[in-house]
């Protein structure tokens, strides 16, 4: 048996993904309540009403009510250590979410029963499909008038291209929502609005013919439930856990996260069937999770987690072996040894210094600027973990400094914020015009807000007419130099000093590719790894 098998077998690391407003942050909070990690949820009416959820810890998130940074939370439940990564639902932050999906072993997808499948949900599921990530679906807001339960399942199957397997079944929806029947445990959980589902609300029903059903649900709903369950059982039967683990079938739960309803059934199933940390591919070989030597990769960087200290934290997913505080590890890209005296685990804002971490764990490392997204740490071996996406920006704006006295602060702020991977920084060729490239508009707002509030730098952004950034390389340095000189208005350097061509349109890009066969155009900076 491998040295760390016991630790690996008691860990589950997953992300919650959804469209904005589907109730993801609320669900996260309920998980933490069950895990005893927090005592009161944001929705709990107490004397000190907490206006914001535990996992939205950036000031701008509190103001806008959307999660824009992935946060990491760990809690214990039924003897398991669960690492939960909450992801931004907003589409402008999809990049951050895609990277987070590389750091987890399974996913819970939240679907709003009123709105059904939305564009963002489709895109996130495509990333899960590419990696065969196991998915559990939670259909939320059953206490609101939404789509018919059968229609909703059909829509999800069709739109997300995955087979569903109901594990609980709802009794009505909207104001007539009476609860769910647990197809696995064969019991009925009754719903009362604005109260927490407790054990008293759970009825053990060995046989759906039981007259208790009529007594509790009324004749009409009892008959409908019997017919529904017979149909669902006939079509789906028992869940094949191997099909779930292979990413072919997604177990489905119905509930209302805000009312803490239907969540426990899902969490219990998750603990039972979700995968433990898995083995991974690297640039040179397949890495077995059971290997004794430590390895891990950085999938996210966050500046100024604590506004009082100018700190940057790199989030590292442990992939094999044992991470230890104060031990030297090999930073592959920089080819140097680094150690960490204060590695952290997280519960949203609360950080605890840890001595050790095992595969599946996510560790926060204080970073003085050594890390970039995708960096790998090992015990000496040289390899990279593969499959961490980086994207070509689609919106470009020039940064205009409104306060020349704060030039230094602005430069520092731009460097640190773009290191987080939500935006890319370019400097125009031959000049010092700073250009920021993002995937979505909202990121510019966030960057402007954070530059002002965290660095005291005031900027405005002016739109630029570019449509794509292409990293250019050539086997013939002379050709590259000529191209750069001729096209200098469209040439910039990224922050690592690599040459980038900013194309005005698809037509321009295709023309340049045709006219310059000696030059290669790449849509990500991965080529320089």
Q: What is the mean pLDDT of the chain?
A: 80
Higher pLDDT, 348 or 478: 478
| Residues 351, 338: Cα–Cα separation, whole Å | 21
**What are the tens digits of pLDDT across the range 381-420?**
888 887 766 666 778 999 999 988 888 988 888 887 777 7
Least confident among 201-205, 330-334, 344-348: 344-348
**What are the tens digits of pLDDT across the range 446-464?**
788 888 888 888 999 999 9
Provide the 3-class DSSP secondary structure of residue 157.
helix
> Is the pLDDT at 330 greater than 60, yes or no?
yes
Q: Rounded to the nearest 5°, which phi and psi values hold at 489?
A: -65, -20
Higher pLDDT, 419 or 299: 299
Query: Nearest Cα to 11, choosing from 81, 62, 58?
Result: 81
Whole-number pLDDT of residue 105: 92
Whole-number pLDDT of residue 296: 92
Taking phi first (over 0 means left), then psi (-120 to 50 degrees means alpha), and beta for anything else, what does residue 79 get?
Answer: left
Which pTM value belongs to this model? 0.75
> Is the pLDDT at 528 greater than 80, yes or no?
no
Whole-number pLDDT of residue 265: 86
Helical residues (DSSP H) of 203-275, grouped into ranges: 212-217, 219-236, 241-245, 263-273
**What are the tens digits of pLDDT across the range 176-212?**
888 888 888 777 777 766 555 454 566 666 666 677 7
| Residues 70, 77: Cα–Cα separation, whole Å | 22
Q: Are strands 434-438 and 491-494 parallel, antiparallel or unpaired?
A: unpaired
CATH no. for 280-378: 3.40.50.300
Q: Where are the domains of the chain?
A: 13-73+87-273, 280-378, 395-528
> Is the pLDDT at 104 greater than 80, yes or no?
yes
Domain at 395-528, CATH class: alpha beta
Taking phi first (over 0 means left), then psi (-120 to 50 degrees means alpha), and beta for anything else, what does residue 458 get?
Answer: beta
Within this chain, domains 280-378 and 395-528 share the same CATH topology: no
Instruction: Report CA-CA distances (Å) from 269 to 77, 265, 416.
Output: 12, 6, 41
Helix (H) or strand (E) holding 50: none
Q: Which residues contact 97 (CB under 8 A, 6 or more apart)?
A: 15, 17, 70, 87, 88, 89, 124
State which CATH number among 3.20.20.140, 1.25.40.10, 3.40.50.300, 1.10.10.10 fits the domain covering 13-73+87-273. Answer: 3.40.50.300
**Tokens 């214990």 -> residue:** 76
Q: 428 near 435, Cβ under 8 Å? A: yes
Structure confidence at residue 371 as a pLDDT band (50, 70, 90):
confident
């Amino acid at each position: 048996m491998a040295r760390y098998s016991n630790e690996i077998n008691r860990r589950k690391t997953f992300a919650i993904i959804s469209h904005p407003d589907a109730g993801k942050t609320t669900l996260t909070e309920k998980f933490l309540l069950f895990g005893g990690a927090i005592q009161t949820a944001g929705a709990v009416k107490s004397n000190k009403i907490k206006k914001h959820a535990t996992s939205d810890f950036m000031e701008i998130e509190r103001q806008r009510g959307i999660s824009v940074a992935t946060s990491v939370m760990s809690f214990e439940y039924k003897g398991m250590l669960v690492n939960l990564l909450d992801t931004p639902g907003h589409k402008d932050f999809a990049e951050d979410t895609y990277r987070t999906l590389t750091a987890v072993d399974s996913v819970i997808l939240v679907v709003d029963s009123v709105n059904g499948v939305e564009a963002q949900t489709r895109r996130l599921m495509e990333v899960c499909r590419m990696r065969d990530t196991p998915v559990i679906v939670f259909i939320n807001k059953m206490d609101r008038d939404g789509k018919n339960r059968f229609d909703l399942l059909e829509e999800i199957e069709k739109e997300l291209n995955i087979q569903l397997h109901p594990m609980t079944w709802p009794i009505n929806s909207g104001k007539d929502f009476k609860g769910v029947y647990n197809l696995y445990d064969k019991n009925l959980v009754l719903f009362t609005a604005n109260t927490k589902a407790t054990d008293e609300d759970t009825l053990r029903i060995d046989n759906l013919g039981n007259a208790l059903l009529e007594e509790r649900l009324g004749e009409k709903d009892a008959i409908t439930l019997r017919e529904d369950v017979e149909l669902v059982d006939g079509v789906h039967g028992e869940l094949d856990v191997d099909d779930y683990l292979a990413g072919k079938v997604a177990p489905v739960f119905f509930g209302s996260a805000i009312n803490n309803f239907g969540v426990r059934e899902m969490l219990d199933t998750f603990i039972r069937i979700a995968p433990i940390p898995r083995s991974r591919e690297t640039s040179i070989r397949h890495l077995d999770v059971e290997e004794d030597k430590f390895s891990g990769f950085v999938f996210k960087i966050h500046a100024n987690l604590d506004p009082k200290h100018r700190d940057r934290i790199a989030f590292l997913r442990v992939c094999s072996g044992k991470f230890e505080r104060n031990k030297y590890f090999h930073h592959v890209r920089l080819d140097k040894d680094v150690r960490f005296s204060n590695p952290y685990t997280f519960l949203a804002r609360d950080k605890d210094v840890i001595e050790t971490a095992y595969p599946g764990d996510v560790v926060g490392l204080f970073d003085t600027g050594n890390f970039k997204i995708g960096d790998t740490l090992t015990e000496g071996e040289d390899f990279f973990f593969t499959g961490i996406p980086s994207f070509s920006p689609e919106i470009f704006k020039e940064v205009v400094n409104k306060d020349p006295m704060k030039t230094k602060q602005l430069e520092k702020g731009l460097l640190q914020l773009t290191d987080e991977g939500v935006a890319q920084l370019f400097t125009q060729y031959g000049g010092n015009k700073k250009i920021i490239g993002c995937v979505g508009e909202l990121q510019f707002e966030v960057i402007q807000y954070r530059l002002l509030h965290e660095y005291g730098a005031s900027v405005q952004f002016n739109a630029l007419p570019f449509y794509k950034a292409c990293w250019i390389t050539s086997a013939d340095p002379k050709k590259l130099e000529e191209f750069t000189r001729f096209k200098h208005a469209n040439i910039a350097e990224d922050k690592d000093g690599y040459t980038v061509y900013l194309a005005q349109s698809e037509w321009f890009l295709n023309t340049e590719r045709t006219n310059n066969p000696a030059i290669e155009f790449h849509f990500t900076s991965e080529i320089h790894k």
